[in-house]
Amino acid sequence: MNGIVVINKEKNMTSRDVVNIVGKKLGTQKVGHSGTLDPLATGVLVLGINKYTKVLPLLDNLEKEYIAEVLVGKSYDTLDITGNLLEEKEVKDLEKEKLENVILSFKKTYFQEIPLYSAKKINGKKLYEYAREGKKISLPKKEVSILDIKLLDVYQKDKNYYFKLYCKVSKGTFIRSLINDISKEVDIPMAMSNLERTKVGNFDIKDSNRIDDDYKFLKIEDIFNYPVYELDDEMYFKVKNGVALPGDNYQDIVLFKYKCEEVALYKKNNNLMKVLLMLK
């Protein structure tokens, strides 16, 4: 039982909770995930099962798409509504045109400050551990790209203003931080109140599994458009032992199979094909 399983994560579960539940259901401890989702967030969580845990690093750089709900007029230390209230400001009217223009201005590459309440490590300690100990620390910044962004809706609920935001972002982008940056430009406190990840690369939420479903397992050929080569007995012996091959007749990355079973991914390096990932 090897493959990629795409789960639609429910709210108030950690990504680790999902890994543990899926692993117990499938009777294996070899389950990993790509791209952590906070407990507040829902949506696409990509899992690797058994040998396919080794495939997960190939998915790290995939672009991600989100729909976020934003509470206007309040800010919290976690940058979402799960934290401690820092500031509250009455908002009698939300200028939609101004907000939309500011949001559109974030379609760019910039250095984003990593949230204090995150698992990013500084000097061997996670940032949220510094926060819990009440220790001040200079927050690092990371270059991120907001590939697409747009305002979807503005509305009132429970006497508060909210808006919904769609964004497509690069690896490592914190949507909480993006919302915080928008709030600074508008000069109104804001916080993320809901988040749904709708897509990771080509993994779409409409094709995902609920955690109690009978899971659909995806294979290399379902995920990547790599050329596939069927091995004869002699070549199978070489490939399963990781022997480098002449690269003249192959494209950059190829999948080798033997008797219709996946054996390895090979990648071209200085005109030699070398093991990228062993699947046997």
**Would you name the residues annotated as active-site residues?**
38
SS3 26: helix
Residues in the chain: 280
Q: Which of 45, 50, 44, 52 is nearest to 27 (CA)?
A: 50
- Angle of the 96-104 helix axis to the 175-186 helix axis, nearest 10: 130
**Neighbour order of strands in the sheet with 261-269:** 228-230, 253-258, 261-269, 272-278, 245-246
A 10 A CB-CB count for 269 gives 13
| Tokens encoding 270 | 């200085």
Between CA 69 and CA 89 the distance in angstroms is 18
Taking Cα atoms as reference points, which of 233, 249, 245 lies closest to residue 269? 245
| Cα-based distances in Å from 264 to 1, 230, 235, 273 | 17, 11, 12, 11
- Sign for the pseudo-dihedral over CA of 7, 35, 178, 188: positive
